[in-house]
Structure 1
Amino acid sequence: MRKASGMRLTNRLVAFVTLIVICAMFIIFVGGAVSFRKLGQDYLTHYLDGVVGVIDQEMAEPQGASSMSRWLPKLLKASNVVELEIGSESGIVYTFKGLQKLPDPSILHASHYELAHNPGFYVSLKSLPPYTEFTYSIGAMSSISLAIALIISGLVWGLDWLRRQLHGSELLEERGRMILAGKVDDFAVGDEQEWPATASLALDQMIAELKDARQERSRFDTFIRTHTFLDQLTGAANRVMFDSRLQSMLQDQEAHGAVLLIRIADWDELLAEKGKEAADELIQDVGVVLSNLVQRYPETVLARYFDAEFAILLPQQSGKEVKQFVGTMMNALDRLVPPTPLDSENWCHIGMTFCASGERRGRIMDEADMALRSAMLQGTNSWYAFRKDQQFEDARGSVRWRTLLDAVFSSGGPILYQQPVVMLDGSILHREMLARIKDENGMLIKASRFLTAVEQVGFSARMDRAVVGKVLEKLRTEPVAEAVSVNLSVNALLDKHFVKWLRDELLQTPRTVLNRLYLEIPEGALVKNLDAMRPVARMLGGLGCKLVVDQAGRTIVSTHYIKDIQADYIKLHRGLVKEINLRQENQLFVRSMLGASADTRAQVIAVGVENKKEWQVLTQLGIKGGQGRYFAAEISAENRK
């Protein structure tokens, strides 16, 4: 795989040009020095040849040898000859040695000549090399100094000119580095000074087309999920999604709740008399009323079950709470004015039944339908509850929940359980920490049962603070090599005081610990408050924590948030995983989620895997990891070694 160069193009060219100029100057100076030395040697040889020629001529004359002692020393001294010896085989005729002190006698240039006019005689000379006594002189070396100064000035000017000419390419290169770093949106349009301009314009066009393709794919994925699981008129869930969520809840341990059916009477007469437009308008009005009422219950599923019938699933709610909700809903519907020919006193009826884990979905829907028919027999807008023994009347009110939670916080906080997330190669990605609390009788209560009460009494930040504190303490004190994940509620992350506390705690935690901390945020609330969550997610990721989006697919939302917050992992809602080998629509949803995260670093993980068949289908679809009882059951993390 190719990697981006760590050296800028301008720096490369500057270094290359500078190296070439320095090498050229070095070669010129070396060549000049060698030539200068050679010229000096040739000059000295030529000069000594003249001195030896004079000596030879003088010795050839009869009185020449006797007169050499008078004029020869002056000539030798003027010629920088330090030693001279004239002799033959019979002995030395004349010798001379200068009196000057030499710092290094080895620098003397030795020469030996045979006299042409005096056969048998020789002359040996030792002289100073040329230029040994010369020193640097501004006047003498001014031309060379000026040449060097001109070369350096030209080099500086040339490098500055080169930098200015290549400034556009540096801008283009820097933009490329930012794009490789993942900041495509910030550098989607290049600077006008970028060069080459054609490459810059081509890059602008490619990024624009890429963004449009991503948005189109996100819209297409949302379109697929919407048409698979949502009613197009009201925006509520359709029958497929409702049955899937009800079946998933009935398969969970310790799960309970209620199913409500709301039917509009005389629907066919309304269609025949007023037409589809008036009928659809009534359906939309009813859907708005029901949607507003279920907002206070975060896990509630509202679906348009048939053309004139809505279904509501209220999980983990007591009989008293459900009956209060039905009464409120009945009063809200009574305030609507239906069009004729509907009777304003007898046009809306509600049937209700309770359900718990282990029951059959078909039987639950039959019970709700029987209760609905009983309500219709009353001849007025009313509701009826199917009579059965299991109605969960022992629920706590907000005061009792607040008292219980205060006791939990004062006694050290919730109890932590853990369950591993296993990747395809069998390695453990992290262990998710699951909060549990004990009631007055010492019975464990799962988070799915008490989290709604935590939000209602305003203890979301307090609960998350207690759980995060215990998890960080566990990571700091215990030499655990594995990573752990902790769930954070969006309500807590919207609290500035909690975010400030969390930031301070993470800043005081070593980087090696933060790299093993995964923070999970529920998808629905995250997308609903995406603008407020972007800076928080950016802060948590910048500190070294991994971001995990939990409960993906519980609601139908756009997947563009994956790129916005740069999520590391996406955890599918367990309702999508339940019996996925038998549900083609859930497989379609998972494929859509995998396609949405294909060009991002996010990896999709399935939660709630119960058996081998589910896992085989999930791995064929392209899931990277799984979590559930198929791999390991939930065990206490308090005494884990």
Structure 2
Amino acid sequence: MRKVAGMKLTNRLVAFVTLIVVCAMFVLFIGGAVSFRKLGTDFLSHYLGKVVAEIDHAIANPTSNENIGLWLPQLLKASDVVELEISSKTGMLYRYEQVQTAVKPLELIENHYDLPSNPGFYIKIRSVPPYADFAYSIGAMSSLSLAVLIIVLALTWGIKWLRIQLLGAELLEHRGRLILAGRAEDVQTGDDREWPSTASIALDQMLVELRDARQERSRFDTFIRTNTFLDKLTGAANRVMFDNRLQTLLQDKGAQGAVLMLRIGDWESLTQEVGKSGADEWVKEVGNVLSNAVQRFPDAVLARYYDTEFALLLTHQSAKDTRLFANQMMKSLARLSPPEPLEEDNWAHMGMTFFSTGERRGRLMEEVDMAKRSAVLQGSNGWHAFKKDVAADDARGSVRWRTLLTRVFESGGPELYRQVVKDVHGELLHTELLARIKDENGLIIKASRFLNGVELVGMNTTLDRNVVTKTLHQLRNGDGREVLSLNICAESLRQRAFQRWLRDVLLQTPRSVLNRMQVEISEGPLVQHFDAVRPTLRMIRALGCALVVDQAGRSVVSTHYVKDIQPKYIKLHRSLIRDIHQRPENQLYVRSMLGACEPTSTEVLAVGVESEHEWNVLMQLGVQGGQGRFLGAELSSSPATLKRQRWRKK
């Protein structure tokens, strides 16, 4: 992969030009110094050669030879000669030496000359080097100083001019860095000063096409998910999504609830009387009433099962509450004024049946269909429940939930179970912490069951504070490498008191610990309260904690949050994973989610992997990791359980 250069183009060119000029000046100074020294040495040799010629002439002339001791010392002193010896093979004829000299003996220049007029005689002269007594003089070096000043000023002006000329290239480079940093939306249109202009215009066009392609890709992915799992007319779930959720729920341990089926009577007469458009408007009106009625149940699923039938799935609700809900819903439907062909008091008939873990989906749909037919035979608007043996009703009201949860929090809070999350190569990505509580009889209750009670009594923040505190404690006392992921409710992130508490706790935690903690939030509540929780999620991410969006695909929503909060992982809901090798529509949904995350660094993980067939199909689709009993079972985090698990491994 190509890496981005760390040094800007302008800085590199400026450094290159400056280095070239400095090197040229250095070479010029070295050459000038060598030339000056060579000229001085040549001048000294030429001057001393004249002195030697005079001495040679004086020795050859007997008259001058007698007076050589008188004029030669003054001449040598004026010529900066420190030592002079006139010798021959027979011995030294004359020696001169200055007593005081400021030059070190090692710095003196020594020359040897033969006397042509006096064969056999030679002179050895040690003199002061040229320019030894000279210092820097403004007058003498004014031309050189002026040249250096001109070069420096020209270099400064040249660098400034070069920066101005390359400003456009630097702006284009800065724009490219922002694009590589994932901020292409901030630089859709470039500056007019960018250079080369052709590259800038081409980049503008490419960004526009990329934005249109991403929008089209997002619309296409949303269209796929909508047409795969949603009804076009009412916007409710369709039969495929309803069957997926029901099948997944029936295979979960401890699941219970009810299935309701509402039928709109005499559809053919209604279509003939008011037309297809009029009948569709009536179906939409009924669907709005049902949608408003199920808002009180966050886990409920409303689906248009057939053209004239709506199906409702209620989870973890008692038979008493379900019957009460059926009565209230029928009263809401009775307030509607049906079109002319329909009888006002005999057009809505609903069947009901209850289920528990392990039952077959086909059998349940037969039971609810039989109950619906019984309601039709009653001849009036109403509902009928299929008669079957129902397990003991352990539903709790607000008082029982408050009592249980208060006891749990007073005794230290919920117990955190662990389940590993692995990538396609089997390597550990992180470990998710799952909250579990025990009821009065010591039975383990999953979060999917007691979260409704937590919301009912308003203990969301108490639960989340307890989970965050326990997670940070495990991270501080762990081996320093384990990455833990915890779940936080969107309702808690909306509250100012919890936001301030979470901020203070995270600020007091070392960065090395926060980098090993991940915060998970469900997709549905996240999209519903996105504007309220977005600042808190950005704060969490800025402090070093990774964000994870779980239960993706539980409801069909837009994935615009991926680009905004940039989660590290998106975890698909288990209803999409169950028997995915036999459900092409679920595979299409997973491909759509992978396509939505492709332009970003977000990875898609699958939750609820139970078999090798499911895992193989998920890897073929391109999912980056998974979680489930096939990859690792849920294990308790208590010290005794961990010790027993280690002993079993050994």
C-alpha separation between the residues in 2 aligned to 1:327 and 1:633? Answer: 41
Answer yes or no: is the 8 Å Cα contact 1:318–1:392 preserved in 2. no
> How far did residue 221 of structure 1 move?
1.2
Equivalent residue for 2:359? 359
Equivalent residue for 1:636? 636
Letter of the 1:442 partner, please give it: G
Equivalent residue for 2:261? 261
Equivalent residue for 2:281? 281
The two structures have a TM-score, normalised by structure 2, of: 0.95
Equivalent residue for 1:190? 190
Structure 2 residue matching 1:275: 3-state secondary structure: helix
C-alpha separation between the residues in 2 aligned to 1:57 and 1:419? Answer: 112
Equivalent residue for 1:30? 30
Instruction: Give 5+ residue unaligned stretches, structure 1.
Output: none
Deviations 1:62-89 (A, max 9, x none): 3111122222222222222222233433
Q: How does 1:317-356 map onto structure 2 within 5 Å?
A: 317-356=317-356
1:111 aligned onto 2:114: no
Equivalent residue for 1:563? 563
Deviations 1:330-381 (A, max 9, x none): 1111111111111111111111111111111111111111211222222221
Equivalent residue for 2:442? 442
Equivalent residue for 1:165? 165
Structure 1 residue matching 2:384: 3-state secondary structure: strand
C-alpha separation between the residues in 2 aligned to 1:85 and 1:136? Answer: 34
Equivalent residue for 1:396? 396
C-alpha separation between the residues in 1 aligned to 2:83 and 2:44? Answer: 15
Deviations 1:536-585 (A, max 9, x none): 22222222222111111111112232222211111111111111122121
Instruction: Give 5+ residue unaligned stretches, structure 2.
Output: 644-650
Q: How does 1:178-577 map onto structure 2 within 5 Å?
A: 178-390=178-390, 393-479=393-479, 481-577=481-577
Structure 2 residue matching 1:412: 3-state secondary structure: coil
Letter of the 2:419 partner, please give it: Q
Structure 2 residue matching 1:519: 3-state secondary structure: strand
State the identity as a percent.
61
Deviations 1:93-147 (A, max 9, x none): 3332223324411222222222223333333322212111111112111221121
Equivalent residue for 2:41? 41
Deviations 1:467-486 (A, max 9, x none): 11111112112336322211
Deviations 1:416-457 (A, max 9, x none): 111111222222222211111122222221111111121222
Once the two structures are overlaid, the 10-residue window that deviates more, 390-399 or 348-357, is 390-399
> How far did residue 200 of structure 1 move?
2.1
Answer yes or no: is the 8 Å Cα contact 1:354–1:391 preserved in 2. no
> How far did residue 392 of structure 1 move?
5.2
Equivalent residue for 2:57? 57
C-alpha separation between the residues in 2 aligned to 1:236 and 1:214? Answer: 27
C-alpha separation between the residues in 2 aligned to 1:516 and 1:87? Answer: 92
Structure 2 residue matching 1:63: 3-state secondary structure: helix
Structure 2 residue matching 1:213: 3-state secondary structure: helix
Once the two structures are overlaid, the 10-residue window that deviates more, 99-108 or 242-251, is 99-108
Structure 1 residue matching 2:140: 3-state secondary structure: helix
Answer yes or no: is the 8 Å Cα contact 1:219–1:558 preserved in 2. no
Structure 1 residue matching 2:227: 3-state secondary structure: helix
Letter of the 1:123 partner, please give it: I
C-alpha separation between the residues in 2 aligned to 1:131 and 1:615? Answer: 89
C-alpha separation between the residues in 1 aligned to 2:99 and 2:385? Answer: 135
Equivalent residue for 2:648? none
Deviations 1:286-316 (A, max 9, x none): 1111111112211111000111110000011
Once the two structures are overlaid, the 10-residue window that deviates more, 239-248 or 623-632, is 623-632
C-alpha separation between the residues in 1 aligned to 2:391 and 2:47? Answer: 129
Letter of the 1:376 partner, please give it: V
Structure 2 residue matching 1:111: 3-state secondary structure: strand
Instruction: Give the direction of change, closer, same or farther, for the CA distance of 1:119–1:427 in structure 2 (3 Å limit).
Output: closer
> How far did residue 29 of structure 1 move?
0.6
Letter of the 1:279 partner, please give it: A
Answer yes or no: is the 8 Å Cα contact 2:475–2:482 preserved in 1. no
Letter of the 1:35 partner, please give it: S
C-alpha separation between the residues in 1 aligned to 2:610 and 2:90? Answer: 121
> How far did residue 329 of structure 1 move?
0.9
C-alpha separation between the residues in 2 aligned to 1:90 and 1:465? Answer: 112
Once the two structures are overlaid, the 10-residue window that deviates more, 276-285 or 168-177, is 168-177
Structure 1 residue matching 2:139: 3-state secondary structure: helix
> How far did residue 237 of structure 1 move?
0.8
C-alpha separation between the residues in 2 aligned to 1:559 and 1:508? Answer: 33
RMSD of aligned residue pairs (Cα, Å): 1.7
Answer yes or no: is the 8 Å Cα contact 2:82–2:101 preserved in 1. no
Instruction: Give the direction of change, closer, same or farther, for the CA distance of 1:179–1:61 in structure 2 (3 Å limit).
Output: same
C-alpha separation between the residues in 2 aligned to 1:126 and 1:61? Answer: 25
Letter of the 1:597 partner, please give it: C
C-alpha separation between the residues in 2 aligned to 1:205 and 1:451? Answer: 50
Deviations 1:240-274 (A, max 9, x none): 11112111111111101111111111111010011
1:128 aligned onto 2:145: no
Deviations 1:354-412 (A, max 9, x none): 11111111111111112112222222211111122216533111222122212221221
Deviations 1:169-191 (A, max 9, x none): 22222222222222222233323
The two structures have a TM-score, normalised by structure 1, of: 0.97
> How far did residue 626 of structure 1 move?
1.8
Letter of the 1:593 partner, please give it: M
C-alpha separation between the residues in 1 aligned to 2:577 and 2:91? Answer: 119
Structure 2 residue matching 1:138: 3-state secondary structure: coil
C-alpha separation between the residues in 2 aligned to 1:462 and 1:362? Answer: 41
Structure 1 residue matching 2:473: 3-state secondary structure: helix
> How far did residue 22 of structure 1 move?
1.0
Letter of the 1:414 partner, please give it: P
> How far did residue 222 of structure 1 move?
1.2
Structure 1 residue matching 2:214: 3-state secondary structure: helix
